Structure 1
Amino acid sequence: MIIDRWFEDRRAALACMTTALLIGALSLGGESLTELLRYDRSAIFAGQWWRALSGHLVHASVGHTLLNVAGLVLIALLFPEPLPLWRWAWRLLILSLGISALMLWRLPELGWYVGLSGTLHGLFVLGFWWLFRQGDKLAPLLLIVLIGKLVWEHFNGPITSNEALVGVPVLVEAHSYGALCAVIYLALARLGARLSAPRTNTGDI
């Protein structure tokens, strides 16, 4: 089983742990720091561009924080991809900024947003792709589960228990945007790999 490869290379676990520690450190700043860093539409248009990234690293409650940290742990266990830390950071950056860009474009009524759940959905898609490339039979099943979850949320709204744990309404659009950004990321990475094939053909993304 692919999860056994976690014991061969710990870089995925290190990357997830680093992200979790950053999220935990930011949570110690309390509500005032959260308000300073959260995605805020009017503040972003006023020039506070960092919120498009930092908004995904702060959370509404302890339960919200723990839920997303648990998501990071699950990613580390399911997808022990041997990525250098800089490439993990690059993925976080691209997915988070992509989600924020889509929220600015598609959700003008959204005043503010916090949480990593959208980015996590994107990371799951990237993980499924890596599993598929490894020939793991678990990948298609996991992808079907994720698609089913997104479809359910689109038509029925968020899972009630999750919303109660988070403490604020769950923005299901962020989940779909995260998955979409991951698909675009993969498509562009594949295109870049093909264009640079005469020079290198590592396939790393």
Structure 2
Amino acid sequence: MLVLQAGGATVVDALRYERAAILSGEVWRLVSGHFVHLTWAHCLLNVGGLGALAAILPASLCAWRCCVVLATLIGLILFAALPGLQFYAGFSGINYGLAALALLPRARGEAIAAVVLATLVCRAFWQWFGGVNMDAAVWLGAPPLAAAHLAGLAVGTVMLCVPMIRRRREAMGSQANPAGPATR
């Protein structure tokens, strides 16, 4: 992200989420828009968040793979759910998704994880209902996009559920056929 930010406005303009360009076939912008930022402060804030979250992500999860899945799904959600969204740049939706992946499994046993996760969920909903700090919008380069934060939380939560569903299906399959696969 730092290298992309160093590329300046030309790189940001080429990679940001831009609805008209996506509709014209530049579908990579659904993903790449998350990795560019409007200001250095915005970039550094998100890089710091990524570093902290990657450090506490469960060992079974690969941070870069999670980022790619989150970026893709959040981009698709924003495209489908917000037809009026013309431009977007920033990694915070992915950071919210990583927070769900890192904190949700710990929330039952670690009070601090539960409090931080609850705070992030409340903050995202507060932003959704109009709680945008306009001072932050100035140094971020635009108001935060609450929909990206909520989408990140939702996608991160669903990503945790997929392995559980898979294990349950496998367990149910082995119970239905305890002798193993049938042979002829």
Query: Which band: TM-score by shorter chain?
Result: 0.7 to 0.9
Structure 1 pair 80/124, CA: closer, same or farther in 2 (3 Å)?
closer
Q: What's the CA shift for 1:189?
A: 2.5
- Partner residue of 1:194 out of 156, 168, 172: 168
Identify unmatched segments of 5+ residues in structure 2: 174-184
Q: Distance in 1 between matches of 2:73 and 2:95?
A: 13
Q: What's the CA shift for 1:109?
A: 0.8
Judge conservation of contact 1:157–1:172 (CA < 8 Å) in 2: no
Q: Distance in 2 between matches of 1:90 and 1:195?
A: 24
Identify unmatched segments of 5+ residues in structure 1: 1-22, 200-205
Paired residue for 2:7? Answer: 29
Residue 40 (1) aligns with residue 14 (2): no
Residue 118 (1) aligns with residue 93 (2): yes
Amino acid in structure 1 at the alignment position of 2:45: L
Q: Distance in 2 between matches of 1:34 and 1:166?
A: 14
Q: What's the CA shift for 1:80?
A: 5.0
Percentage of identical aligned residues = 31
- Partner residue of 2:152 out of 178, 188, 195: 178
Dislocated runs of 4+, deviation >4 Å: none
Q: What's the CA shift for 1:29?
A: 1.3
**1:122-133 aligned within 5 A:** 122-132=97-107
**1:28-107 aligned within 5 A:** 28-77=6-55, 79=56, 81-83=58-60, 87-107=62-82
Q: What's the CA shift for 1:81?
A: 2.8
Q: What's the CA shift for 1:197?
A: 4.4
Larger Rg: 2
- 1:10-33 deviations in whole A, cap 9, x for unaligned? xxxxxxxxxxxxx01111211111
Structure 1 pair 169/151, CA: closer, same or farther in 2 (3 Å)?
closer
Judge conservation of contact 2:57–2:101 (CA < 8 Å) in 1: no
Paired residue for 2:125? Answer: 151
Q: Give the secondary structure class of the aligned counterpart of 1:56.
A: helix
Amino acid in structure 2 at the alignment position of 1:122: G
Q: Over the residues paired in the alignment, what is the CA RMSD in angstroms?
A: 2.0
* Count of aligned pairs: 173
- 1:149-204 deviations in whole A, cap 9, x for unaligned? 122112233233422220122211111111111122222232122223489xxxxx
